[in-house]
Structure 1
């Protein structure tokens, strides 16, 4: 018979495995619970991140416009726009009209004798060195002269310089151009100024295919060789001195009020030509689903997220020029006269 000591030892030996089994079983039961908690945490984390991304997307992503479903274009409006453009071209050209009108409208703020092209030998007034870019070359005179030494001095081609009266048209990138079929009329202007990377290839029916000047900020230059012609003048608008101000404006959500290339081109055109027209200018901010450009899928709503340009002020400026008869709006995006 087993002794009492043996019984105690046996009982003790038997009880220990049962305790170990209970502990192991309890741990096995805990593991699924812990795994379930981890899965729930990960799910909540992913779901929260998705919600945050969606909110940021709503606040900072511009809606794309379907260019295959362009807004309906009234055939009567197309006809009126084309007739109006032809009327502008058929009237007798008025020498010095744009300059005189600008001087009358803005007084001393508009320089009648400002040369449109920078020369290696600065003019006596050196007005272009009184202001910071993009209005002038103050603090950059040395760099400008070094750059000019590398470039040929360019001016209008001889056949344009020989004309006693020239007509300019500044073609904007606005989606309002798509469908008006103004290409034929735009090609008849003496000087055609295009902006940034706005393409001609594939859109000539609406925007024409003649280019006299391609005017662009450095980052906005066309990437395709098809948009450059040997007879074109390439006008680079330098603005690098405002880059730090731009960063500050972005951080503070301020408007920097750098002029758009379009407004700069319109003012330049008044120095180049006797009469000035514009086409493809429109900032219909109250129509966010309207195409912003004639060549991509950006909507007008995109303008609400940029802080570089004050398009409301610029629209007022252009509206003043059109209403005063200084320039003509061929597409009616600023003010329709047809």
Structure 2
């Protein structure tokens, strides 16, 4: 066989070789994350077109990676952005509180070190008992963005949940009085305003005004030692979309109907889907409702009994997470039911 013929055949074989290499790596990645409870953090390979195409294949809502997650002052200078719904799904009636809060917070952006990444790998850490004894801590710390919820602790649980925190979503009743205890110094503290009193609480903290204690289902911290420069206000658009598009729950319940709102956890997953190229989750899932004595968190002693009067539909959210998992939009880092 001549040198010219050999060269021609080699050129023809390149696409075939590339196809099998790509297929092998994609299968290896998916299998490793579905079988092993101790997984390495994803590399840039995970952002390949094969995963991006798969994860949105069966989802019925539009998501863009170039998303502004947080409210900014400029949002209030354009009439077309005025909201028709009150909190938690809009800002109608809360504009004054928001303006005062946004006037004193220093930034509305994500850090440039994350914004400028070619591939954003994110993990959302739920507070569920399922992550206990998982030994996922080291893997969790390798993600570009680690999102945590409410006042879930880190110190003392590093082996299972890691100790890196990029963003923490919270509301007043779930705020820790001193965020520095369980967060990094540069952790972005993202307030999720479910009601007008949530914004009023933050305004009183920021301006050192007299605290109004009424209007909360649980007393929030009267002293909050968070850094002003790290505070962000999540755009209610994301709660609106989580409720209406992902969970299909009524945004305006009928008279005498108990309102149902998304949990902070499912909201964080939806936010991550909007912002990240790769979304993995851990610590999600509640025990069966009939098992009222089963612990629900990897910390503390709360059981399913504490969820009886909540404004959440946990089984409905579990179904939504299953749809996201089946579509390839998210991957669990540990076995789950």
SS of the residue corresponding to residue 123 of structure 2 reads: strand
| Correspondence list, 1:250-261, <5 A | 255-261=258-264
| Correspondence list, 1:1-338, <5 A | 80-82=36-38, 85-86=39-40, 88-89=42-43, 91-94=45-48, 101=55, 105-107=59-61, 114-122=67-75, 129-224=83-178, 225-241=180-196, 255-286=258-289, 287-303=291-307, 305-333=308-336
Deviation per CA, 1:47-99: give whole Å up to 9, x if none: xxxxxxxxxxxxxxxxxxxxxxxxxxxxxx9x9210xx327457432479779
Q: CA RMSD in A?
A: 3.5
- Confirm or deny: 8 A CA contact 2:132 2:160 kept in the other structure: yes
SS of the residue corresponding to residue 148 of structure 2 reads: strand
Once the two structures are TM-superposed, the CA of residue 317 in structure 1 deviates from its matched residue by 0.9
Unpaired stretches in structure 2, ≥5 consecutive residues:
1-32, 199-214, 218-254
- Confirm or deny: 8 A CA contact 1:99 1:271 kept in the other structure: no
Structure 1 length normalisation: TM-score? 0.64
Once the two structures are TM-superposed, the CA of residue 322 in structure 1 deviates from its matched residue by 0.8
SS of the residue corresponding to residue 138 of structure 1 reads: coil
Of 305-314 and 318-327, the range deviating more from structure 2: 305-314
Of 165-174 and 135-144, the range deviating more from structure 2: 135-144
Deviation per CA, 1:212-258: give whole Å up to 9, x if none: 001101110123441243211000001115998x9xxxxx9964211
- Distance (Å, rounded) in 2 between the aligned partners of 1:100 and 1:118: 31
- Distance (Å, rounded) in 2 between the aligned partners of 1:92 and 1:318: 20
Unpaired stretches in structure 1, ≥5 consecutive residues:
1-76, 247-251
SS of the residue corresponding to residue 312 of structure 1 reads: helix
* Count of matched residue positions in the alignment of Structure 1 and Structure 2: 249
Greater Rg by CA: 1
SS of the residue corresponding to residue 107 of structure 1 reads: coil
- Distance (Å, rounded) in 2 between the aligned partners of 1:87 and 1:193: 15
- Confirm or deny: 8 A CA contact 2:37 2:134 kept in the other structure: yes
Structure 2 length normalisation: TM-score? 0.64
Which of the two has greater helix per residue? 1
SS of the residue corresponding to residue 276 of structure 1 reads: strand
Residue 159 and residue 235 in structure 1: after superposition, are their counterparts in 2 closer, same or farther (change >3 A)? same
